[in-house]
């Protein structure tokens, strides 16, 4: 029995429809057709568009824009330890019609938390939007703000 007939025998002994190929068969097999590209996720694009870069926010603060309100969505202890100058503290889970009754409806609210992996700003922005406010998140949170060299304050 020659090697070729041994291989043929092995090939015919496989169950019909078997996807297993030997290395030599893989080398001879035609390339697989490319899979069609998955459509882009609209939610991701929408969430990315809803972020402000720290440089943009700093420019607005430095220009004295009164229609931009910075919201720290962390616990009061985190806010007291360090926050963006002029920010108000509104813990993400406490946002409702009562806690936002005194807030301006004509302002843009830029919400932040600790960093990119903290989701307090996402929750806060969603709750503010559900109540009819214009809200977006600060890209990278307080950590990114500080890494870009922008000031913070305590108290």
23-69 pLDDT per residue, tens? 777 677 777 777 676 654 444 444 445 789 999 999 999 999 999 99
Residue 142 has pLDDT above 50, yes or no: yes
* pLDDT at residue number 30: 72
* pLDDT at residue number 36: 72
- pTM of the shown model: 0.69
Domains and CATH numbers, the chain: 47-147 (3.40.250.10)
Tell me the C-alpha distance between 126 and 122, whole Å.
Answer: 6
Give the residue carrying structure tokens 């290395």: 23
Kind plus residue range of the DSSP H or E element containing 147: helix 141-147
Of the listed ranges 19-28, 75-84, 123-132, the least confidently predicted one is: 19-28
Instruction: Give the phi and the psi of residue 84 in degrees, each rounded to 5.
Output: -70, 135
Q: What is the largest CA-CA distance in the chain?
A: 91
* pLDDT at residue number 28: 75
Share of the chain above pLDDT 90, in %: 65
Of the candidates 91, 121, 128, the one whose C-alpha atom is nearest the C-alpha of residue 107 is 128
Token pair for residue 66?
A: 């009164």
């Amino acid at each position: 029995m020659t090697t070729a007939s041994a291989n043929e025998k092995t090939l015919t002994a496989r169950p019909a429809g078997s996807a297993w190929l030997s290395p030599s068969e893989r080398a001879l097999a035609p390339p697989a057709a490319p899979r069609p590209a998955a459509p882009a996720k609209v939610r991701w694009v929408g969430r990315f568009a809803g972020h402000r870069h720290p440089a943009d926010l700093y420019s607005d603060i430095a220009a004295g824009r009164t229609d931009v309100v910075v919201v720290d969505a962390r616990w009061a202890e985190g806010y007291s330890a360090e926050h963006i100058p002029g920010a108000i503290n509104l813990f993400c889970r406490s946002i409702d019609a009562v806690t936002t009754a005194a807030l301006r409806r004509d302002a843009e609210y830029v919400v932040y938390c600790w960093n990119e992996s903290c989701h307090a700003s996402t929750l806060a922005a969603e709750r503010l939007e559900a109540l009819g406010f214009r809200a977006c998140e600060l890209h990278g949170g307080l950590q990114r703000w500080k890494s870009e060299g922008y000031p913070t304050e305590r108290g």
